[in-house]
Chains A and B, each alone.
Chain A
């Protein structure tokens, strides 16, 4: 289950991040960010499994694609900000 939301403010860095994750075979989905997480208006989210967050963070840091925010979707459907 993809329960981590890596938020990016525009589509091109989100696509670049997605391409980078694809290159190492890390499963994820690129989608428009839930409205409640897109504080500045429209944004994009890479959703991935919590256990993959460390690998994704390391890779996207190397690729210089910092997140606007990272959220964890909790079992009750709410979001908890876990970074940055």
Chain B
């Protein structure tokens, strides 16, 4: 199989991820719930991963909270800062993890739009939306539909000047681009563990530079005599037994990334992206691309339903994702609603042969579709 659905999850992980998970399953008990060797081992493993993540994102270990996914992290961040009637400025590219949560909270949502790949235009549009003063600003770092990179550092500076709480969804950038909550002045940054960080599904991180409200309540192995959740992070957000095997795998993914050169990884992905976009354009397909783009590419095959096209790719052993990608707002902003797009997404472990195999299949599918349409 040629796997090019890395924006959904990275299927190819470094082998040490599975080894670490297997080892944790066999040797680790419940961290923070006992003083025996197996509980201590689990506690050490959890701390090692937390400390690795802290190093990776330039924070203190206590500011790194484990979640089940980015959605849980975004729920915590939004539920901390948003009340019914709060005015929340968001990018017009946000995922349902943000838009549904805000709808559920009864927020007044102000989506900001701009040409997809024009970072300056995004910044200007955000700046205009900051009057009247919102209660919070939410922006993803990279669009999960179009791969465009938004100017979160500059937007963070605007928010900091105005003392506005700023939330960043780094789901598509963590592990690929520098994610720097301190430099961005972000209150919270949420991300999954199973995409660019190369960990397993069921893991995520919420990086906290503000005090969050807990989403789950229960035992933390600390302050057990009191009814209230502890004030201290990460305990405040980590009620219940942690996903220790998952955290072990995430730690192995982070270790792998820390051993690589980020510049080399980015250059490799950029080269594959360039080849992908050029190849699709040579086939005469409609491709969404621009100067600041990661390895996520949306495209359309004229006259063909995007889901049917993705099926045709799947029949040839190529894994892509089609439809609205849980981000209908992004498709409205990009002008691709309700039809949707076909999305190809690369990762650090994608190979040139993956792209060539995909382009070969794209040519076949395009030609077959042309023949089908030509039949009277």
> How many residues from B make CB contacts under 8 Å with A?
25
- Please name all residues of chain A whose beta carbon is closer than 8 Å to the beta carbon of B31 when the two chains form the complex: 11
Question: Is there an interface contact between A12 and B234, defined as CB atoms closer than 8 Å?
Answer: yes
Is A3 part of the contact surface with B, judged by Cβ < 8 Å? Answer: no
Residue of B with least CB distance to A45: B35
Checking A15, A16, A19, A41 against B224 with a beta-carbon cut-off of 8 angstroms, the contacting residue is: A41
In the complex, how many angstroms separate the beta carbon of B235 from the nearest chain A beta carbon? 5
- Please name all residues of chain A whose beta carbon is closer than 8 Å to the beta carbon of B224 when the two chains form the complex: 40-42
Is A73 part of the contact surface with B, judged by Cβ < 8 Å? Answer: no
In the complex, how many angstroms separate the beta carbon of A33 from the nearest chain B beta carbon? 10
> Mask for A25-61, Cβ within 8 A of B = 1, else 0?
0000011100000011111100000000000000000
Residue of A with least CB distance to B234: A12
Checking B44, B51, B221 against A42 with a beta-carbon cut-off of 8 angstroms, the contacting residue is: B221
Residue of B with least CB distance to A8: B222
CB interface residues, B 302-320, toward A, < 8 Å: none
Main secondary structure of the interface of B (DSSP, over half): loop
Q: A9-B230, A31-B35, A32-B34 are in contact. Are A15 and B222 (CB under 8 A)?
A: no
A30 to B47, CA, bound (A): 13
A16 to B59, CA, bound (A): 13
In the complex, how many angstroms separate the beta carbon of A17 from the nearest chain B beta carbon? 11
> Mask for B9-36, Cβ within 8 A of A = 1, else 0?
0000000000000000000000110110
Question: Is there an interface contact between B222 and A42, defined as CB atoms closer than 8 Å?
Answer: yes
Q: In this complex, which of A10, A15, A41 has the most chain B Cβ atoms within 10 angstroms of its Cβ?
A: A10
Question: Is there an interface contact between B61 and A16, defined as CB atoms closer than 8 Å?
Answer: yes
- Please name all residues of chain A whose beta carbon is closer than 8 Å to the beta carbon of B235 when the two chains form the complex: 10-12
In the complex, how many angstroms separate the beta carbon of B343 from the nearest chain A beta carbon? 38
Checking A12, A31, A39, A40 against B62 with a beta-carbon cut-off of 8 angstroms, the contacting residue is: A12
- Please name all residues of chain A whose beta carbon is closer than 8 Å to the beta carbon of B226 when the two chains form the complex: 40-41
- Please name all residues of chain B whose beta carbon is closer than 8 Å to the beta carbon of A12 when the two chains form the complex: 47, 50, 61-62, 232-235
Is B73 part of the contact surface with A, judged by Cβ < 8 Å? Answer: no
A39 to B345, CA, bound (A): 52
> Mask for B224-256, Cβ within 8 A of A = 1, else 0?
111000101111000000000000000000000
- Please name all residues of chain B whose beta carbon is closer than 8 Å to the beta carbon of A30 when the two chains form the complex: 40
In the complex, how many angstroms separate the beta carbon of A62 from the nearest chain B beta carbon? 14
Checking B44, B225, B232 against A15 with a beta-carbon cut-off of 8 angstroms, the contacting residue is: B44
- Please name all residues of chain B whose beta carbon is closer than 8 Å to the beta carbon of A43 when the two chains form the complex: 222-223
In the complex, how many angstroms separate the beta carbon of A16 from the nearest chain B beta carbon? 5
- Please name all residues of chain B whose beta carbon is closer than 8 Å to the beta carbon of A40 when the two chains form the complex: 223-226
Residue of A with least CB distance to B238: A12
- Please name all residues of chain A whose beta carbon is closer than 8 Å to the beta carbon of B99 when the two chains form the complex: none
Question: Is there an interface contact between A9 and B223, defined as CB atoms closer than 8 Å?
Answer: yes
Question: Is there an interface contact between A9 and B222, defined as CB atoms closer than 8 Å?
Answer: yes
Is B43 part of the contact surface with A, judged by Cβ < 8 Å? Answer: yes
B interface residue numbers (CB < 8 A to A):
31-32, 34-35, 40, 43-44, 47, 50-51, 60-62, 220-226, 230, 232-235
Q: List 24 A-B contacts (CB under 8 A).
A: A9-B232, A10-B220, A10-B223, A11-B222, A11-B235, A12-B50, A12-B62, A12-B233, A12-B234, A15-B43, A15-B51, A16-B60, A19-B51, A30-B40, A40-B223, A40-B225, A41-B223, A41-B225, A42-B32, A42-B221, A42-B222, A42-B223, A43-B223, A44-B222
